[in-house]
Structure 1
Amino acid sequence: MGVAPTAGGALPGARYLVLASRLVPDRDGGFTISVLRRALDMAAAGAEITLLTVDPGETADHDTHRAEWVRRGLLGSEGSLRNLFDDARSDPSWLRRSAIPGRVPSSPWPTRVVTDGSGAAVLDLPVVSGDAAWHLTDAPVRIYDGDGDVIGWLPGFGGLYRAWLNAVAAESADGGAERAPVVVLCEARQIGETLVASGEPALDAGIRVLHTTHACHVLPPFQWDSPMDAAWQRWFEIADRFDGVLWLTPSQRDDVERRFGGRLRSFVVPHPAPVVSAPSDPVAGRIVILNSLIPRKRVDHVLRALPAIRAAVPAAHLCVYGDGGSGAQLRALATELGVADAVEWLGHVADPATRAWASADVLVLASTNEGQPLVILEALAAGVPVVAYDMPYGPRDTLAYGGGVLVSDGDIDALAAALIDVLSDRGLRSELSASGRAAAAAMDAAASMRALGDAVRTALVDPVSS
């Protein structure tokens, strides 16, 4: 069976629903930005895209988020981002059609009522606490009619999510013509588990589900066979039910296949390097960190390397973009090490890249683990050399085409030496800048969309459920 392409040719013709738990400005780090950027790239490739979220916030808050994303250029229009609870408030007919009639099962959990603009109850949600997997509970979601009476129920969040997706998928985009196939790109593991779980209502058979991944799946010491937390273990148990799993790097896909064999239908769909328009006027010695101030990012390693770097390159100084729970501790460490005068703490900035890349001499990334760091791709596109620990996952795959220096994971002395080399050897910096730009050009949106198109095409022609 052939699959018609989109107008742009990279993606098969389909309705694409990009499903995330939430998309809130300045929350969840690179995850949120990567989801929005991919949706924009898909739209640019000619695909019909709708972004979907399931966070049970207020409509006014969601409207504020939509307007802000449009302002930042990360959302094409406010109408292209929908929320389950906004839809339920504005037109609950789909919810009432999906409700299972009859007696509502009992539940041990308290509930939270969701109301519409007039204050009338639309549905209520179980408030699951403790160690219970909230997203997998069958505790009933009660559904109300317009007069405040319960008319039925859905089995937990999973039943609610599946009912909504079925309703959205059934909508005709062009007023009644034959509907295009529907492809869901699920961006959140907990949500993904609910889509393929058993129970009513089942997800419509014609919906194809591709599941993206955004993070490292193992715990310390971050080897291919290292322990996994309970959430990842549970996800891997059901991941073979998806029509495709999208990994960001070949390294992570290979480690998963080494551990689990070929049980999953895996594809590599990397983040693309963005187009960076900031002028390049590097300040000599300026080392940039652009990440949250949390233990996983190991900013303390860079601070501990800084005395040696300054001894060799007196102009060296650190500009730190980001905030987080470790901020006070890191400031104290800088004072203890005698480098406080060489560190500028810039905090959270809504659009740090515009400021950071214009003047950065080098980017440093010292995390324990990543998925595929957007910050490396941004730096390469801006011609900023990268020095990064060789941690899983991302730096090795991304820097394989040039633009940076990999350092043995956790080796602070080697980190200092690599930064000294880049800062002191202007010829080396120039070479890395040029090779980084060339690498970024090869890892562009078109390449990412071709990879995604291959995954979608396989899902449409040969679904897992067939």
Structure 2
Amino acid sequence: MAAAGADVTLLTVDPGETADHDAHRAEWVRRGLLGSAAGLRNLFDDARSDPSWLYRAAIPGPAPASPWPTRAITDDGGATVLELPIVSGNAAWHLTDAPVRVYDGGAMIGWLPGFGGLYRAWLNALGAEPGDDASDGHSAPVVVLCEARQIGETLVAAGEPALDAGIRVLHTTHACHVLSPFRWDSPMDAAWERWFEVADRFDGVLWLTSSQRDDVERRFGESRLRSFVVPHPAPAVSASTDPVAGRIVILNSLIPRKRVDHVLRALPAVRAAVPAAHLRVYGDGAALGELRALAAELGIDDAVAWTGHVADPATQAWASADVLVLASTNEGQPLVVLEALAAGVPVVAYDMPYGPRDTLARGGGVLVDDGDVDALAAALIDVLSDRERRAELAAEGRAAAARMDAAASMRALGDAVRAALASPAPR
């Protein structure tokens, strides 16, 4: 985003200590992800350093009674700046009006209605700060890209203070919104149902794939949401690759949703056809012990290596992978598929919602019927046993990844931002 010309600031709302946030800032700068520490702002750090925005937004007088205990946020001198309600056992904690008490010099001077009131007051203050002027002399517009459903719900909720109508809120999505059996009309959990109730109040909703956007529009109607498709970008992979013949790679957490057990059950048939076939599993999780036991039960434990979590899979997993396999029940748009394509590693994936079908549309992999272990084994055998086929898929994958780079994602994001700025806020 910065390379595309935007003045980017990361906003966080975790109520930690300033020293911890300073360490986070330093790490972001060290990794080259922020130009300076000033590029990461935290609500509570801002409240400690200059609480004037709190004083302006606070409702004067005593706060309403609340059943919840509180947590004090103090400045460097130990003086209380805020008291936050500790709302426990409530999945909608962020939507309660439990008062956030505002203090000045040790005395309570007012309150804000819940976390929503606090978050909106902060964003309004940030939006009013002097920024870089555009070429026509007008202040640059403020666009918030919201990453978390709970935060997004608080920003567009009705209540005081209202979010300034000049601030545009685009909400990103990163996960499948339906439950099993993962069809367009399948049930949704309560969190998604609540989010969809207010999603028409966002200036734009950013979906990772056209498939998910289309399913949402089929369910709610094309005009319900301002929907845009902004996919993850494929990374630029510079590491050289030297695939080990027969090496099947899994790179994901070891949880039931990833269905690693399906890959283990497919492996005996793959080994029977391709004796060099073996599995290397990158990732960790609660299902590790159960999966190890299954490998032993299937008689393939000698062909499975459990490497655990690795910090830099680009130089480990992709450098030697012959094929990547993904057998999840559902995804948003799996980054692992984009990474594999960029590295020239063919992909065999279940045709699950969402991501593999859209991401492999330009080639580089093989889709098999969702949940069909025999089809999964057949596809792996095809890729591993036919070296010419594997080379074709590797070349297709690299070419596809080059077309799905960061510039392409930024163009899609730019289109969404321009559309949001050209329309009145729906709130």
Give the TM-score, by structure 2 length. 0.96
1:183-209: CA deviation from partner (whole Å, max 9, x where unpaired): 111111111111111111111111011
1:170 paired to 2:128: yes
Equivalent AA in structure 2 for residue 84 of structure 1: L
> What's the offset of the Cα at 1:401?
0.4
Can you give the 5+ residue segments of structure 1 that lack an aligned partner in the other structure? 1-41
Asked whether the 8 Å contact 2:133–2:139 carries over to 1, the reply is no
> What's the offset of the Cα at 1:179?
2.0
The equivalent of 2:31 in structure 1 is: 72
Relative distance call for 1:93 and 1:65 in structure 2 (3 A) is: same
**Whole-angstrom distance in 2 between the partners of 1:70 and 1:313:** 47
Structure 2 SS opposite 1:418: helix
Asked whether the 8 Å contact 1:113–1:122 carries over to 2, the reply is yes
The equivalent of 1:127 in structure 2 is: 86
Asked whether the 8 Å contact 1:135–1:156 carries over to 2, the reply is yes
**Whole-angstrom distance in 2 between the partners of 1:138 and 1:309:** 57
1:7-40: CA deviation from partner (whole Å, max 9, x where unpaired): xxxxxxxxxxxxxxxxxxxxxxxxxxxxxxxxxx
The equivalent of 2:410 in structure 1 is: 449
The equivalent of 1:413 in structure 2 is: 374
Asked whether the 8 Å contact 1:292–1:324 carries over to 2, the reply is yes
The equivalent of 2:196 in structure 1 is: 236
**Whole-angstrom distance in 2 between the partners of 1:411 and 1:142:** 56
**Whole-angstrom distance in 1 between the partners of 2:133 and 2:208:** 37
Relative distance call for 1:73 and 1:290 in structure 2 (3 A) is: farther
Asked whether the 8 Å contact 2:146–2:171 carries over to 1, the reply is yes
Relative distance call for 1:314 and 1:76 in structure 2 (3 A) is: farther
1:80-99: CA deviation from partner (whole Å, max 9, x where unpaired): 12211122222222222211
1:187 paired to 2:147: yes
> What's the offset of the Cα at 1:175?
9.0
> What's the offset of the Cα at 1:377?
0.6
The equivalent of 1:307 in structure 2 is: 268
The equivalent of 1:46 in structure 2 is: 5
Aligned 1:134-145 pairs, distance under 5 A: 134-145=93-104
Can you give the 5+ residue segments of structure 2 that lack an aligned partner in the other structure? none
More divergent stretch after superposition (424-433 vs 307-316): 307-316
1:216 paired to 2:154: no
1:259 paired to 2:219: yes
**Whole-angstrom distance in 2 between the partners of 1:370 and 1:297:** 9
Asked whether the 8 Å contact 1:377–1:440 carries over to 2, the reply is yes
More divergent stretch after superposition (53-62 vs 162-171): 53-62
Structure 2 SS opposite 1:96: helix
Structure 2 SS opposite 1:292: coil
**Whole-angstrom distance in 2 between the partners of 1:304 and 1:65:** 42
More divergent stretch after superposition (173-182 vs 388-397): 173-182
**Whole-angstrom distance in 2 between the partners of 1:202 and 1:175:** 25
> What's the offset of the Cα at 1:437?
0.6
Equivalent AA in structure 1 for residue 129 of structure 2: E
1:403-440: CA deviation from partner (whole Å, max 9, x where unpaired): 00001101111111111111111101100000001111
Aligned 1:14-413 pairs, distance under 5 A: 42-145=1-104, 147-174=105-132, 178-262=138-222, 263-413=224-374
> What's the offset of the Cα at 1:309?
1.4
The equivalent of 1:3 in structure 2 is: none
Give the TM-score, by structure 1 length. 0.88
Asked whether the 8 Å contact 1:208–1:463 carries over to 2, the reply is no
**Whole-angstrom distance in 1 between the partners of 2:424 and 2:237:** 37
Backbone CA RMSD of aligned residues: 1.6
Q: How many residues align?
A: 424
The equivalent of 1:28 in structure 2 is: none
> What's the offset of the Cα at 1:132?
4.7
> What's the offset of the Cα at 1:75?
3.5
Relative distance call for 1:89 and 1:216 in structure 2 (3 A) is: same
Asked whether the 8 Å contact 1:294–1:324 carries over to 2, the reply is yes
Equivalent AA in structure 1 for residue 142 of structure 2: V
Identity %: 83
> What's the offset of the Cα at 1:79?
2.3
Q: Which structure carries more relative contact order (alpha carbon 8 Å, separation 6+)?
A: 1
Equivalent AA in structure 2 for residue 235 of structure 1: W
More divergent stretch after superposition (135-144 vs 319-328): 319-328
Relative distance call for 1:398 and 1:205 in structure 2 (3 A) is: same
Equivalent AA in structure 1 for residue 42 of structure 2: N
1:275-315: CA deviation from partner (whole Å, max 9, x where unpaired): 11111111111111111111111111111111111122222
> What's the offset of the Cα at 1:77?
3.2
**Whole-angstrom distance in 2 between the partners of 1:341 and 1:174:** 61
Asked whether the 8 Å contact 2:165–2:425 carries over to 1, the reply is no
More divergent stretch after superposition (234-243 vs 172-181): 172-181
Structure 1 SS opposite 2:111: strand
Structure 1 SS opposite 2:109: strand
The equivalent of 1:37 in structure 2 is: none
Asked whether the 8 Å contact 1:136–1:156 carries over to 2, the reply is yes
**Whole-angstrom distance in 1 between the partners of 2:265 and 2:68:** 49
Equivalent AA in structure 2 for residue 365 of structure 1: L
Structure 1 SS opposite 2:196: helix
Asked whether the 8 Å contact 2:62–2:109 carries over to 1, the reply is no
More divergent stretch after superposition (283-292 vs 382-391): 283-292
**Whole-angstrom distance in 2 between the partners of 1:209 and 1:238:** 12
Q: Identify which of 426, 430, 438 aligns with 2:391.
A: 430
**Whole-angstrom distance in 1 between the partners of 2:386 and 2:239:** 24
Asked whether the 8 Å contact 2:348–2:379 carries over to 1, the reply is yes
1:61-117: CA deviation from partner (whole Å, max 9, x where unpaired): 222333333333444433212211122222222222211111211111111111122
1:459 paired to 2:420: yes
Equivalent AA in structure 1 for residue 50 of structure 2: D
